[in-house]
Amino acid sequence: MPAIVAAAGLADRFHDILDQFGIEPKYLLMQVISFSILAFVLYRFLLKPVLATMGERQRQIDAGLRYADEMKAKLAQAQEESVAIAKQAQLDGSKLIDEARRTAKELSDRQQKEAIDRANDLIVKAQQAIELEHKRMMEEARTEVARLVVTTTQRVLARELSEAERSRYNTAAARELTEIKS
């Protein structure tokens, strides 16, 4: 029972405080109900959409940050690939240049060899032409000497020579013919 008395005393005290401040319980209850309705309406139609919008914004920001991180990674990968491609292109270019130099050297060597072969052929042909010309001149010289010998012999024979003179002329002609052939 003392608890009931204490509770009754507490209730009286509570009513005294309410009277002292001019608070009427029925109006207080109406204000609590009004405030609850207002809080519910504000929460339902104002705070909840704002929180949803903020949540969506936060998700978009997070997605944007993830996308930015992905793009950074892709950019780094693309830069690495471009460096690798540039190195490969440089290696390929060096190989092409080396191949071009080697091909140019081979072509130059082949043309130089062909030029040397042509020059040697020309020299051989010139030597052959010189030899033919020399033989032809020797033949002409022999023919001319033979003609001169015949002409001289005819003149000599036209005169009557003694046997000793004829022998001397024949020996001299034979000696000249032998010298010309050498």
CB under 8 Å to 181, separation ≥6 — which residues? 138, 142
- pLDDT bin (cut points 50, 70, 90) of residue 5 is low
- pLDDT bin (cut points 50, 70, 90) of residue 98 is very high
Collapsed DSSP state (helix, strand, coil) of residue 161: coil
Mean pLDDT of 71-100: 92
How far from the centroid of its chain's Cα atoms is residue 136's Cα? 66
Domain residues of the chain, as ranges?
2-181
Q: In terms of pLDDT, which residue wins out, 3 or 138?
A: 138
Mean pLDDT of 86-113: 92
Quick one: pLDDT at residue 76?
93
Q: What is the pLDDT of residues 129-181, one digit of tens each?
A: 999 998 888 888 888 877 777 777 777 666 666 778 778 877 887 787 777 66
pLDDT surpassing 90 at residue 58: yes
Quick one: pLDDT at residue 160?
64
pLDDT surpassing 80 at residue 13: yes
Mean pLDDT of 91-114: 92
Residue with tokens 């608890």: 3
- Contact present, 18 and 25 (Cβ < 8 Å): yes
First to last CA, the chain: 174
Q: What is the pLDDT of residues 21-48, one digit of tens each?
A: 887 878 888 999 999 999 999 889 988 8
> How far apart (Å, rounded) are the C-alpha atoms in residues 113 and 119?
10
What is the value of pTM for the model shown? 0.39
pLDDT surpassing 90 at residue 3: no
Mean pLDDT of 60-68: 94
